[in-house]
Amino acid sequence: MIEKIEQIKQQFFDELAHVGSPQALEDLRIKFLARKGFIAQLFDDLKSVSVVDKPAVGKALNEFRTAAQAAFDEKKANLEHASRPAELPVDVTLPGRPKPLGTKHPITQTIDEIRRIFVSMGFSIALGPEVESDYYNFEALNFPPNHPARDMQDTFFISKKVLLRTHTSPVQIRLMERQQPPVRAIMPGRVYRNEAVSARSLVLFHQIEGLYVDQGVTFSDLKGTLVSFAKQFYGSDVQYKFRPTFFPFTEPSADMYISCFLCKGKGCRMCKFAGWLEILGSGMVHPHVFKYVGYNAEKYTGFAFGMGIERIASLRYDIDDLRLYYENDVRFLKQF
Ligand code: DAH
């Protein structure tokens, strides 16, 4: 009987070693391990073994059954693992597929560049709301009650006292209300004007406001700062001039011009044959404005400036229709 067990054991392990598919393994299971298989038959035979031999034979048979089941389970696991698809069905030697990258919008690029220059001169960044009150947009900036800028023609009113800001100057007021001098910040953002859309005017555009208030700030600080900006932004050989103008919130006020960088001042389409390009408005903060924010106008002075980003970007990239910035035409945008 022991011999017979040995023989069937041999046969089982031989055949198991040659099993190469789940089907062959299943056939093997039925042949040896199933209820009517060889091992079950051996247990039947055990009944006719003499009482003396039974313990030894029974032990050998039990050991065989346990070993056979374990070997079968292991083979089954191996086959299942091998039949799974490879974990990375990827040819790592193939060249990559490049993803098309977008570019920053030219207005964003222009704001980023202007920010970089002013931050390097010690200015911080401040932001304010686009929905403003009449107080911040006009009154605290010393606009007289019947100033034409308050006209329905220019301003989008939400109610009698609430409007879409027409410039970034109200952020100056908010900043000074919450911070004592020294204050040195630029304030970028969207502004709105109630105008017919054309190549030269939009209802939504961007400005960057600047403000520097401290003891002893003078007009030459204004000029030094803005000339330094213009040289960094337009090139160190740029010519400039300041021309007197009027803003309610500054006194004196000045527009800054640079020599046309296309024709170098000779006169061309870009500068409308003037040789000069206006790039920003500026001035010394009006003492009335300081009164509104509770600053001591005897102790502090300051300068402010404001520039239109679309205008600056158009000069820089020679773009003659402002509407192009907001049509989201990829052929236009990907040039930048
Ligand atoms: N707020 C003005 C505008 O919208 C621009 C401006 C001019 C801002 C002079 C200033 C400034 O801070 O000092 O046209």
Tokens 């402010």 label which residue?
Answer: 304
- Which residue from 247, 278, 293 has its CB within 8 A of the most atoms of ligand 1, so it is best to mutate? 247
Residue 268: the pLDDT is 81
Which residue, 39, 68, 83, sits at the end of a domain? 83
Q: Residue 88: is its pLDDT beyond 80?
A: no
Atom 7 of ligand 1 has which residue's CA nearest to it?
Answer: 281
Bond preceding residue 182 cis, omega within 30 of 0: yes
Judgement on whether residues 133 and 186 belong to the same structural domain of the protein: yes
Q: If we measure between CA atoms, which residue out of 286, 219, 279, 272 comes closest to residue 255?
A: 279
Judgement on whether residues 111 and 76 belong to the same structural domain of the protein: no
Lowest mean pLDDT among 83-87, 208-212, 304-308: 83-87
Judgement on whether residues 166 and 201 belong to the same structural domain of the protein: yes
User: In 10 A of CB 164, how many CB atoms?
Assistant: 20
What is the CATH number for 113? 3.30.930.10
Atom 3 of ligand 1 has which residue's CA nearest to it?
Answer: 167
Q: Are 266 and 275 in contact (CB under 8 A)?
A: yes
Residue 203 has φ and ψ, to the nearest 5°, of -85, -20
Total domains in the chain come to 2
- Which residue from 192, 193, 209 has its CB within 8 A of the most atoms of ligand 1, so it is best to mutate? 209
Confidence grade of residue 21 (pLDDT, cut at 50, 70, 90): confident
101 domain-assigned: no
Judgement on whether residues 207 and 316 belong to the same structural domain of the protein: yes
Q: Residue 14: is its pLDDT beyond 70?
A: yes
What sections of the chain are H helices per DSSP? 2-18, 22-32, 38-46, 54-83, 106-120, 134-137, 169-178, 219-234, 287-293, 309-317, 330-333
Atom 12 of ligand 1 has which residue's CA nearest to it?
Answer: 305
Atom of ligand 1 nearest to the CA of 210: 12
Mean pLDDT of the residues in the chain: 91
Q: Residue 102: is its pLDDT beyond 80?
A: yes
Q: What is the pTM assigned to this prediction? A: 0.71
Residue 61: the pLDDT is 80
**Residue 97: both structure tokens together:** 């597929």
Average pLDDT on 60-67 reads 85
Q: If we measure between CA atoms, which residue out of 205, 183, 152, 207 comes closest to residue 285?
A: 183
Q: Which residues line ligand 1 (CB under 6 A)?
A: 167, 169, 209, 247, 250, 281-283, 304-306
Question: How far apart are the CA of 169 and the centre of ligand 1, in A?
Answer: 6
Tell me the residue range of the domain where 34 lies: 2-83
- Which residue from 154, 167, 168, 191 has its CB within 8 A of the most atoms of ligand 1, so it is best to mutate? 167
Confidence grade of residue 84 (pLDDT, cut at 50, 70, 90): low
Q: Residue 179: is its pLDDT beyond 90?
A: yes
Question: How far apart are the CA of 218 and the centre of ligand 1, in A?
Answer: 18
Q: Are 256 and 283 in contact (CB under 8 A)?
A: no
Q: Residue 2: is its pLDDT beyond 90?
A: no
Confidence grade of residue 281 (pLDDT, cut at 50, 70, 90): very high
Residue 174: the pLDDT is 98
Question: How far apart are the CA of 282 and the centre of ligand 1, in A?
Answer: 6
Confidence grade of residue 17 (pLDDT, cut at 50, 70, 90): confident
Confidence grade of residue 114 (pLDDT, cut at 50, 70, 90): very high
97 domain-assigned: no
Q: Which of 49-53, 86-90, 249-253, 267-271 has the highest mean pLDDT?
A: 249-253
- Which residue from 168, 249, 288, 312 has its CB within 8 A of the most atoms of ligand 1, so it is best to mutate? 249
